[in-house]
Each structure stands twice: as C-alpha cells, then as structure tokens.
Amino acid sequence: MSNNIIPIIRHAPSRAVLREFFFEINHQIVHLVARIRGAVMDNDEHFFELCDELRSQISELGDICRDYAQPELSTDKDGGKESLRILILMVSHMELMFLYVRKNRASDTHYRKEINATADEFLHRQARITASVV
C-alpha cells in the first residue's frame, strides 16, 4: 500500500449558485401552477403530466434546500421540510379533484373551485417557503 492518500474533494455549488437555482425553480413552480389551472379549465389531458412535473420541481427544490443547508427552512413554523411534503400532498389533492371533475360532470364546478382554492393555498405556502430563504 502506498502512503500517498489522495483526498476526495466534493465540488459543491456555491451558496450563490444554489440560491440562483432556488429562485429559478421557484419561478418554474409558479408557472406550472398557472398551467395546471389552465389545464383544469380546458379539461386538458396534460393535467397529470403537469402535476408530475410540478412534483419533480418540488423535489428538486427540496434537494437545493438541503444542499443550501438553509437553517430557516428547517426551523420555520410550518415544520420546515414538512412544508415541501405538504406541497406534494396538495398536488395529489388537485389530481384527485380533477378525477372527480371527469367522473361527476354535475358537480364539476365545485371540484374546479376546490382545485383553484388548493392552487391558491399552494402558492401561498410556496411564497412563505421562498420568504424563509430570502
């Protein structure tokens, strides 16, 4: 064995780069929610694809927050990482309501309102997460 030890250095992005990624993904999330709302109104088949993409962006946001080691996110009053889980659950709730829209045409107005209310709450929670990082 050699006495020469080669250190492994992890090349992590700087905090500034992570912060930039965070805000870019946050913008994409807000844009996706707007597209989801449009898909609901148009009864668009792409609704579920948009929801999957939104979940993916939320997961990426969680990865950035972990790499960023953002203490504010871990200690916020909503439970930190739980806030991101809640966002994912809200996406699932919107999907369920969309399925109800398709199944029960008589009550589709009610379910569409529920999806819009959930989207509003989603954006509100997303804004609070963003404010905790700023």
Print the SS3 string covering the chain.
Answer: CCCCCCCCCCCCCCHHHHHHHHHHHHHHHHHHHHHHHHHHHHCCCCHHHHHHHHHHHHHHHHHHHHHHCCHHHHHCCCCCHHHHHHHHHHHHHHHHHHHHHHHCHHHHHHHHHHHHHHHHHHHHHHHHHHHHHC
User: pLDDT by residue for the chain (134 residues), tens digit each?
Assistant: 556 776 666 566 677 787 888 889 999 999 999 999 999 998 888 999 999 999 999 999 888 877 665 555 545 554 457 888 999 999 999 999 999 998 988 888 999 999 999 999 999 999 988 887 76
* Residue 1 in domain: no
The per-residue pLDDT for 133 is 72
Which pTM value belongs to this model? 0.79
**pLDDT, position 27:** 94
Q: Is residue 78 part of a domain?
A: yes
> What's the rounded Cα separation, in Å, for the pair 75 and 63?
17
Can you tell me the distance from the alpha carbon of 105 to that of 120, in angstroms, rounded to the nearest whole number? 23
Measure CA 12 to chain center: 23
pLDDT for 54: 96
Domain holding 57: CATH number?
A: 1.20.120.230
pLDDT of amino acid 2: 57
pLDDT at 70: 53
Query: Has residue 46 been placed in a domain?
Result: yes
Note whether residue 10 is domain-resident.
Answer: no
Range of the domain at 96: 15-133
Identify whether 4 is part of a domain: no
**Alpha carbon distance 21, 64 (integer Å):** 8
